[in-house]
Structure 1
Amino acid sequence: MSWLHDTLVGFDLETTGTDPAESRIVTAALVEAEGGEVVRERDWLADPGVAIPDEAAAIHGIVTDRAVAEGRPAAEVAEEVAAALCEYWRAGVPVVVFNASFDLSLLSAELRRYGLPSLEQRLGGRAPGPVLDPLAVDRAVDRYRKGSRTLQSACAVYGVELADAHRAGSDALAALHVALALGRKYPQEVGGLDPAELHTRQVGWYAAWATGLQEWLRKKDPHAVVNVDWPTRAAVS
């Protein structure tokens, strides 16, 4: 039976910035669904331990004072999020993460920052997965579509409602529905694959995209580097 009808979990982070090696978790959400219908949602608000830049707060709505007053210690949040994700992966449940190489790399950096077990250690040495990244899939199956590839854009293309953009729970659920829409629209390339096989294909799809982007960037900057690792960036430290 296709994964389209099975349990899926949407995951999203809202953060202090755009560098997964240095940015911190502000909010996190896990949305569990069966056949697209939500059965459980978990949310976290963290005190990231650093000031939240105004430009980040303008996007997700969480200012430093609120995070300090209402948020839980960042190490506790990172631990609970990692433990929950690995529980799903050990059960073989696909985790949907839009732009997985950012969110999962940032979470991995947070775990290192606080001396907590890595995702790989929690999984007995194997890499996190299965992961389903609607961004990586969309780039592969509709390679020549013009325009942006943001979550908002993907929702518009695939007819998914995004009621409250840049709120972790809303984004996680929207990403999950985009994944389902991709699976239905592309049954041979996406929907009909076993989650483990789809995960493996995304590794290659992402590497091909990153390599192509690097070649294009090097026309102007010969030293440009685009990380090819997915779903986590090995170079993040």
Structure 2
Amino acid sequence: MSWLGGPLTAFDLETTGTDVETDRIVTAAVVRIETDGSVSRERTWLLDPGVAIPEQASAIHGISTEHARAHGAPAASAVGEIARAVAEGLRQGTPLVVMNARYDLSLLDRECLRHGVESVSERLGGAPAPVIDPLVIDKHVDKYRKGKRALYALCDHYGVPLDEAHDARADAVAAARVVRSMGERHRPVGLMPLSDLHDLQVRAAAEQSVSLQAYLRRTADPAAVVEPAWPLIPRRR
């Protein structure tokens, strides 16, 4: 049976910004999606990140600094719970769906380091796997399609509803449904063993990074560097 015929765990974060080394988690969701697309289990978190949430980030996900401070859980305890929930799904053999996994998983890893709690990798005894990333797969199977590759654009392309974009739960559910639709449409990917699919994404993400880096150096910044590692950016030494 291919992964299309089994459950998926989906994970999503909303954060204070886009730098995995310095930014913080504001909201998170870990959701189990059954084969029929229904949600059978879910956990969500609102954190007090311990820093001010920039207005630009608040405008995207709707969480202000004041709201997070008043209603959010302490970051250290919540980060530990999130890492535990992500690791538990993988330990049970359920593939983890993460849109732009390189960002969300790396930011969670840095938050674990910051707060002195076990990371997902430490809980598993190795890097998270198998991970399914709609962004990496879509760029691989439909390399030359024009237009944006953000989650809302993938939802539109693959016919998946997204009613509350930038809500962690809604985005997690949509990502899982998108990747299932993607696998149905592109059957070689949908029928691929999970270990092979994970390894394919490692290679594809690296190739995509090389291509983007070359483009940026040619058109915008001669010194541009695009991280090739996937699904987790190694910690700086």
TM-score (norm 2): 0.96
What's the CA shift for 1:40? 0.9
Question: Aligned equivalents of 2:234 and 2:43: distance in 1?
Answer: 28
What's the CA shift for 1:74? 0.7
Match of 1:201 in 2: 200
Q: Secondary structure at the match of 2:9?
A: strand
Match of 1:81 in 2: 82
Match of 2:134 in 1: 134
Match of 1:223 in 2: 223
Match of 2:61 in 1: 60
Question: Aligned equivalents of 1:213 and 1:192: distance in 2?
Answer: 28
Question: Aligned equivalents of 2:122 and 2:9: distance in 1?
Answer: 21
What's the CA shift for 1:90? 1.2
Match of 1:109 in 2: 110
Deviations 1:37-91 (A, max 9, x none): 2101110000000011111111101111111111001111110010111111111
AA aligned opposite 2:104: D
Q: Secondary structure at the match of 2:218?
A: coil
Q: How does 1:35-184 map to 2 (within 5 A)?
A: 35=35, 36-124=37-125, 126-184=126-184
What's the CA shift for 1:119? 2.0
What's the CA shift for 1:194? 1.4
What's the CA shift for 1:118? 2.3
Question: Aligned equivalents of 1:198 and 1:81: distance in 2?
Answer: 25
AA aligned opposite 2:215: W
Match of 2:27 in 1: 27
AA aligned opposite 2:197: L
TM-score (norm 1): 0.96
What's the CA shift for 1:235? 4.7
Question: Aligned equivalents of 1:45 and 1:236: distance in 2?
Answer: 28
Match of 1:185 in 2: 185
| Aligned residues of 1:20 and 1:236 also touching (Cα < 8 A) | no
Q: Secondary structure at the match of 1:154?
A: helix
Aligned: 1:211 with 2:189: no
Worse overlay, 142-151 or 221-230: 221-230
Quote the sequence identity (%).
Answer: 51
Worse overlay, 72-81 or 218-227: 218-227
Q: Secondary structure at the match of 1:233?
A: coil
Unmatched tracts of structure 1, length 5 or more: none
Q: 1:136 to 1:236 in 2, by over 3 A?
A: farther
AA aligned opposite 1:193: M
Q: Secondary structure at the match of 2:79?
A: helix
Instruction: Give me the CA root mean square deviation.
Output: 1.1
AA aligned opposite 1:77: A
Question: Aligned equivalents of 2:175 and 2:119: distance in 1?
Answer: 24
Q: Secondary structure at the match of 1:109?
A: helix
What's the CA shift for 1:236? 5.3
Question: Aligned equivalents of 1:201 and 1:48: distance in 2?
Answer: 35
